[in-house]
Structure 1
Amino acid sequence: MKRFVVFLLALSAAQALTLVDKGASKYTIVVSAQASPSEQRAAQELQRFVEEMSGARLPVSADDKPVRGPMVLVGDSAALRQQKLQVPFDKLGPEGFVLQASGNHLVIAGGRQRGTMYGVYTFLDQLGCRWFTREVSRIPKLPTIAVTRYAQPEIHKPAFEYREPFFFEAWDKDWAARNRTNGNHAQLDASTGGKLQYYPFVHSFYELVPPKEYFPEHPEYFSLIDGKRRTERGQLCLTNPDVLRVVIARVEAWIKEHPDATIFSVSQNDWEGWCECDRCRRVEMEEGGQHSGPLLRFVNAVAESIGQRHPDKLIDTLAYWYTENPPLRVRPVKNVRIRLCPIGICVSHSFGQCPRSAYFYKNLQAWSKITNQLYIWHYNTNFSHYPMPFPDFDELAADIPLYKQHGVVGLFMQGAYAAGGGGEASELRAYVIARQLWDASTKVEQAVQEFLEGVYGPAAGPMRAYFDLLHGEVRGPGGRHLWIFNVPDYSAGFRSKAAELFAKAEAAAGDDATLRRVRKAKLPLEYYGVLRDTEFDVHGSQWGPADLASLKPRALDLIARMRTFGIQSIHEGQELARDEKRYNEMTSVPLFTIENGQWRADVVPELNARVVRLIDKSTGRDTMRRFPPGEGAYPFVGGQVASVHTDYYAKALDVTWNVDTQSSERLVLLGQCANGLRIRRIFELNAAGLHTSTVVENAGQTPVSAALQVRAEYTPGDIDKASMSFTRINGQRVEQAFITPNHEPTDKYTWNGGEKPSREWKLLQGGGQPLFVRFQDEQVGRTYLSWTAKSRAGAQFLLWSPEKTLKPGETLKLDADYGAVRP
């Protein structure tokens, strides 16, 4: 009972702490005469916002001057120590702080780098202050500010040591500081306590060992791929001791050139191309067959060398793409930070619950067991289409706490970062993420609601209804999966219902500023509509959008309005002018049809001689995979197509196509390459399906290296039930389901030699007749299969001829048949 009475007395004292009473205050803000820049800012910000709330301007005084009356003690100071409080500065770190009432004084004190500043912003946050965007904040009007807590000291530390919402809208210095983020790209400076600074930020292999500088004399420094040392879309040979020496020297130089940086990136390039030399493969096998093995051994060696001379510097690398699976044996040394990148997960559902993302959850658990310094590179936008409606808030609400539970200490949350911003809901997303990164227990629904009310005012109701409508597309049984590059198929009524809600929001907006914010928020819905209406289809003898005449001005008007909001890019790495050019130049293209009693094939020469549809008349089903508009290099995607390369790893050569002859069931196209190669493609229908014959001839005067490829994208029906089967040349039978537990819902395989399929590959559909690809073993040098359950599911089977140097007049030929297995 005595202890309870003491607590009540302390609480009563805390309740009696009235900072401002009816617009007047007796308090003085006191800081150390040696206050850090961020502590000085903390005092100024407290003064500013208390005055904005209450009208009372509290004076700011250094602790080397006498102060009469109650004080707000901001940061460590002589005045604070006179209170004889046991503030645990040694345990708060650079960003933690204490909020405490001491008699009639208020203490806001923490780490000198940013802790005290964050303490002030947290105190203001508890009073109801919010900084939603760079332009919109909520500072409540409080003529009386009564402090009703802190009878017991409140100790606050951030949920994560590194917190970066990577959106253009989140880089403003004041917004970032007030929302307590500390990321590399924010415009934070000494006045805000700096930030966690990288150099360079990522994908640094070719900055460490520049190919122009080293490849001519030392090709062995670079990846061995398909028997050749390469730099185009390659990496480094990580078992070469000279590469290690060069990299250590380069990192040493970076440390001298960038002394403020704390983390230095030694990380793979942003593509595949790992080294296939015997030494690298041997290390992979020692590490359980994982490509992360050679990488982490190499990075550890760099970190150990750097750590001897620079114990305060960290080395960062990626667990990304081909290195996402952890190695079997090697463990990160103490000055290495691993950034695990869940680039393949479904972002509409928590990875802890979604079967499409179970593979990543397994990797997160495995990495968290071998390092207690794990960072995450998470993805929060559609990188192919920044304005795409992107309902990922349920996933964010669940997964940021999951990261915390698994010991993650830093989060880079990559959103739409192009200059000018304008990604779908970027300001809302950045605000909510910032709050979660500071406090992983943040109630996301509440944060969303207060943002909508603060930013949209009287239009918040319909804006909330739109938010819920969009998220309803992915919630509940049968909710759609969502990925960061693919174009979603939202329900048939989504666009019209959303348009009605935006009309209500525009009508409810009470002023021009709010109306403009509503109209900016509407751009993603309009963009989605334009994109979907760009879908190419058969219209007589043309392949193109249904109503191109009205689509063009609609698209160009949308782009013009985007510019009025400062938007410069709506796709990663592309300027808005590219979209404008694409719609200005968009046309329908000629389509040629061959047909018999069982099949219809539609061929578009201008799309690289592509079979865009192969329709089985017995079912009415198009067996070719149809991509949604805006996915990949649309409309140069899907169907069946051929290409010519100088070798298996080289890009396809450009070909100009013309029609040679056509009959009802047969079409012949002729193609010409700039290097003298000539291509002839024959398409013929029979009862089983489509037969194609592709011949490449050297029509020039000098030998030319060539490899011929033909490929087809099939639609697999229900991907969860689909599988593939074939018999290898060595006689082994292969049958495999596409969707398997704890694996990413996409994969690829290359088969050479005796492992190649012999004569036929089958796609066993999830419902419907099996589809096949048939070919002649002697014409095929390599085969490749890829499949995906992302967006509209598909399976691609690819045939390569042998690589060959063609003398003048010599040819390569590849025949293939595509169809359905009849009962």
Structure 2
Amino acid sequence: MVIPARSTAHERNAAYLLEQRLEKIYGIQVDVVADNIKTAGNILSVGATVYADYDFTAKKTGSYAVTAFDGGVSIIGNGNRGLIDGVFRFLSEFCDYEVYTKDVIRYTEEKSLCVPKNTKIESTPFFEYRKVDTVSTGDAEYALANSLNSQIWFSNEEGGVIKYLSLFGHSLTNQFCKRDTYFASHPEYFALRDGKRVDKQLCLTNPDVLKIVTEEVLDLLKKSHDPTADLQIVSLTQDDNEEYCTCDNCRALDEKNGSHAGTMLTFVNAVADAVKVADPAYKNVAIDTFAYQYTRTCPTNVVPRDNVIIRLCSIECCFGHTIDDENCKENVLFLQDLNKWSKICDRVYIWDYINNYSETFLPFADFQVLQRNMQLFYENGAKGVYEEGNYYMDICNGEFYELRSYLLCKLMQNPYREDYEELMLDYLTQVYGPGGTYLKEFIDLVSSRSVTKTKHLHIRQQPADCLPGITATEIRKADKLWENAKNAAKTTQQLNEIKRSELCWQYWKCCRMKGEYSPLRGLYSYMKSHKELYDKIVALGNTAVGEGAIKYLRGNSFSIYFLPPTKWESKYDGKLWHKLDPFADWLYERLEELHG
């Protein structure tokens, strides 16, 4: 392996990453030498060596190339991440190195490394910012191998990260011009609602608020800014409520712009201007704000500065139809908003959602729209994508969250890849074993039944609205697919993964009183099936059924035996039926004795 004689720490680290993984795969240690030293044999060139013949002048930051030359292969990239991504692309293409989850990694069993002489791989990032939520995406190897560049912190030598120096979101009132600091003494800094100041949002036309926030942002940059990073972001974003200011000045500016984004963007632009002139080193700093709920509509009389990012949030969308589906009103409006923002802003990021936050164990059948939506984000000007998923998987893990994240990582790298279905099947068979083929059939089935022309998939969907098109015959088919998958498992790990994902199907059936959860099968069968499902959920390490403090699991006997899983949570603590727990336990014990 050859690196430049005057190599950077970044190039040395890339070579180290490649060397370590080649040793793991082939069991041999590869010598790393400078390019001014004569070597015998085939050359694996890493970085801007004398063997690298590639011009990145017109390429985006993060681009890379893997090319064969007479006597070797060259891996080269630009920006902090380009070379690292090139290394992992080389490993994937020629060593079959694939990181599916933080615990499942595959690589070739061949003893020789062969690269075709005509190899010429070139890649330019579709999105400059890439982030997905799950457990595995927080793992260093997974993040590097799957080209996530904002998930966890890496030094620039390790590939760098697009870092939010501030809070990731909802920073106004929580980090900048904090309510705890200013509301008691200066209520006029905060939103006027029904003639009264409230601490939910800021009054963005108050000049003192602008002065405070600007000073706090500049102070943050003095302490935390890294001029060598590719991009650093400070978020100036509304808190997570709709209590925007209605004072005369804010109302007038909003009315002038036809949107509450009028006050927000005018305010953010002023801070962005101050950042731009404060220090030339801040040229890699962008100020970020939301187009979210009441600020989602594009304003008509103000445009973002060139150092401002607009993060457009899809929270109101249907996630079972593509965003260009004309039969889906919510999605048509979202795509219109994306188009309008992209016309006035060169850096629109998407904040998308891939999870049911109310009933997280229910099937979230969105696999049929992921690729088309990613294509539409790109085609309509998005420069970054954040997929907010099940970030609380450590306490609520069922369904196919890791699969979804893996596919999205691949789609962020190339939304137009032609092997999407094969990619999904490959993941399922690697993680779940031979039974993965049956799980692919199940996913295809529920994906085809997740929505209708009038029924949609939302992020707080209730069981009654989930899988509206599914038939009794298909329910029986799905049951058989899960049984076949479990029977095909070769290892305990594979079987446990199948059982964990099966919770989504069992949870849905229990909520909808289908199959073994039907009361028509008799009282004992009804109670027994409910208890077994609750015990499975707990045995697999789950302590919650959704997002937030009200969604923690509670083991109240009456609820478990007689009520749907949506009532097995802390929201219902203290209800009258809990006084019936002793009776429920007694009844179940008698029925167990009776049924032997």
Which TM-score bucket, shorter chain as reference?
Answer: 0.7 to 0.9
Is 2:495 the counterpart of 1:523? Answer: no
The verdict on how the C-alpha distance between 1:633 and 1:511 changes in structure 2, with shifts beyond 3 A counting, is: closer
The verdict on how the C-alpha distance between 1:271 and 1:628 changes in structure 2, with shifts beyond 3 A counting, is: farther
Is 2:355 the counterpart of 1:389? Answer: no
Instruction: Return the alpha-carbon distance in structure 2 between the equivalents of residues 520 and 568 of structure 1.
Output: 14
Cα root mean square deviation, aligned: 3.1
Report if aligned partners of 2:342, 2:381 keep a CA contact under 8 Å in 1.
yes
Q: Which digits, 9 at most, give the CA deviation of each residue in 1:755-792, with x for residues without a partner?
A: xxxxxxxxxxxxxxxxxxxxxxxxxxxxxxxxxxxxxx
1:660-809 pair list within 5 angstroms: none
1:331 pairs with 292, 303, 317, which one?
Answer: 303
- Counterpart of 2:585 in structure 1 is none
Displacement, 1:156? 1.2
Report if aligned partners of 1:168, 1:419 keep a CA contact under 8 Å in 2.
yes
Displacement, 1:499? 2.5
Instruction: Return the alpha-carbon distance in structure 1 between the equivalents of residues 575 and 412 of structure 2.
Output: 51
1:579 pairs with 527, 540, 553, which one?
Answer: 553
1:536-551 pair list within 5 angstroms: 549-550=527-528
Is 2:162 the counterpart of 1:196? Answer: yes
Instruction: Return the alpha-carbon distance in structure 1 between the equivalents of residues 504 and 554 of structure 2.
Output: 16
Displacement, 1:189? 4.2
SS in 1 for 2:360: coil
Instruction: Return the alpha-carbon distance in structure 2 between the equivalents of residues 410 and 235 of structure 1.
Output: 26
Q: Which residue identity lines up with residue 553 of structure 1 in the other structure?
A: K
Displacement, 1:93? 4.6
More strand as a share of residues = 1
- Counterpart of 1:799 in structure 2 is none
The verdict on how the C-alpha distance between 1:324 and 1:70 changes in structure 2, with shifts beyond 3 A counting, is: same
- Counterpart of 1:415 in structure 2 is 389
Q: Which residue identity lines up with residue 484 of structure 1 in the other structure?
A: I
Larger RCO, structure (CA 8 Å, separation 6 or more): 2
Instruction: Return the alpha-carbon distance in structure 2 between the equivalents of residues 580 and 533 of structure 1.
Output: 20
Instruction: Return the alpha-carbon distance in structure 2 between the equivalents of residues 266 and 582 of structure 1.
Output: 43
Instruction: Return the alpha-carbon distance in structure 2 between the equivalents of residues 628 and 574 of structure 1.
Output: 16
- Counterpart of 1:781 in structure 2 is none
SS in 2 for 1:580: coil
1:432-451 pair list within 5 angstroms: 432-443=407-418, 444-451=420-427
Displacement, 1:496? 3.9
- Counterpart of 1:181 in structure 2 is 148
- Counterpart of 1:89 in structure 2 is 56
Range 195-204 or range 415-424, more displaced: 415-424
Instruction: Return the alpha-carbon distance in structure 1 between the equivalents of residues 6 and 504 of structure 2.
Output: 50
Q: TM-score, normalised by structure 1?
A: 0.62
Displacement, 1:327? 0.4
Instruction: Return the alpha-carbon distance in structure 2 between the equivalents of residues 383 and 190 of structure 1.
Output: 35
Instruction: Return the alpha-carbon distance in structure 1 between the equivalents of residues 385 and 255 of structure 2.
Output: 31
Q: Which residue identity lines up with residue 489 of structure 1 in the other structure?
A: C
Displacement, 1:351? 0.8
Displacement, 1:193? 1.5
Instruction: Return the alpha-carbon distance in structure 1 between the equivalents of residues 549 and 475 of structure 2.
Output: 26
Q: Which residue identity lines up with residue 492 of structure 2 in the other structure?
A: D
The verdict on how the C-alpha distance between 1:391 and 1:552 changes in structure 2, with shifts beyond 3 A counting, is: closer
Instruction: Return the alpha-carbon distance in structure 2 between the equivalents of residues 587 and 144 of structure 1.
Output: 59
SS in 1 for 2:368: helix
1:294 pairs with 259, 263, 266, which one?
Answer: 263
Instruction: Return the alpha-carbon distance in structure 2 between the equivalents of residues 584 and 418 of structure 1.
Output: 27
Displacement, 1:49? 4.0
- Counterpart of 2:81 in structure 1 is 114
- Counterpart of 1:355 in structure 2 is 328
Instruction: Return the alpha-carbon distance in structure 2 between the equivalents of residues 478 and 267 of structure 1.
Output: 35
The 4+ residue runs of structure 1 with deviation greater than 6 A are 545-548, 582-589, 630-636
1:305 pairs with 271, 274, 284, which one?
Answer: 274
Q: Which residue identity lines up with residue 179 of structure 2 in the other structure?
A: P
Report if aligned partners of 1:423, 1:570 keep a CA contact under 8 Å in 2.
no
Q: Which digits, 9 at most, give the CA deviation of each residue in 1:29-69, with x for residues without a partner?
A: 11235544553343234334445555554322233544333
Instruction: Return the alpha-carbon distance in structure 2 between the equivalents of residues 628 and 143 of structure 1.
Output: 51
The verdict on how the C-alpha distance between 1:195 and 1:582 changes in structure 2, with shifts beyond 3 A counting, is: farther
1:557 pairs with 517, 523, 535, which one?
Answer: 535
- Counterpart of 2:430 in structure 1 is 454
Q: Which residue identity lines up with residue 466 of structure 1 in the other structure?
A: F
Q: Which residue identity lines up with residue 355 of structure 1 in the other structure?
A: C
Q: Which digits, 9 at most, give the CA deviation of each residue in 1:265-309, with x for residues without a partner?
A: 100001100101111110011102x11111111111111111112
- Counterpart of 2:466 in structure 1 is 489
Q: Which residue identity lines up with residue 206 of structure 2 in the other structure?
A: N
Instruction: Return the alpha-carbon distance in structure 2 between the equivalents of residues 531 and 470 of structure 1.
Output: 16
Q: Which digits, 9 at most, give the CA deviation of each residue in 1:532-579, with x for residues without a partner?
A: 459xxxx9xxxxx9998547634531332231xxx4543223387x22
More helix as a share of residues = 2
The verdict on how the C-alpha distance between 1:499 and 1:302 changes in structure 2, with shifts beyond 3 A counting, is: same
The verdict on how the C-alpha distance between 1:548 and 1:268 changes in structure 2, with shifts beyond 3 A counting, is: farther
1:63-142 pair list within 5 angstroms: 63=35, 65-76=37-48, 80-81=49-50, 83=51, 86-111=53-78, 113-127=80-94, 128-142=96-110
Aligned residues: 550
Please, which runs of 5 or more residues in structure 1 have no aligned partner? 1-28, 540-544, 590-626, 637-653, 657-823
The verdict on how the C-alpha distance between 1:347 and 1:364 changes in structure 2, with shifts beyond 3 A counting, is: same
Instruction: Return the alpha-carbon distance in structure 1 between the equivalents of residues 182 and 53 of structure 2.
Output: 58
Displacement, 1:506? 0.8
SS in 2 for 1:230: strand
Rg larger in 1 or in 2?
1
Q: Which residue identity lines up with residue 276 of structure 1 in the other structure?
A: T
Report if aligned partners of 2:543, 2:553 keep a CA contact under 8 Å in 1.
no
Instruction: Return the alpha-carbon distance in structure 1 between the equivalents of residues 568 and 7 of structure 2.
Output: 54
Please, which runs of 5 or more residues in structure 2 have no aligned partner? 577-596
Displacement, 1:586? 7.1
1:214-253 pair list within 5 angstroms: 214-231=182-199, 234-253=200-219
Q: Percent identity?
A: 29
Q: Which digits, 9 at most, give the CA deviation of each residue in 1:380-432, with x for residues without a partner?
A: 11111222211111111111011111111100111000152625211111111
Q: Which digits, 9 at most, give the CA deviation of each residue in 1:707-745, with x for residues without a partner?
A: xxxxxxxxxxxxxxxxxxxxxxxxxxxxxxxxxxxxxxx
Displacement, 1:171? 0.9
Range 394-403 or range 438-447, more displaced: 438-447
Instruction: Return the alpha-carbon distance in structure 2 between the equivalents of residues 497 and 633 of structure 1.
Output: 34
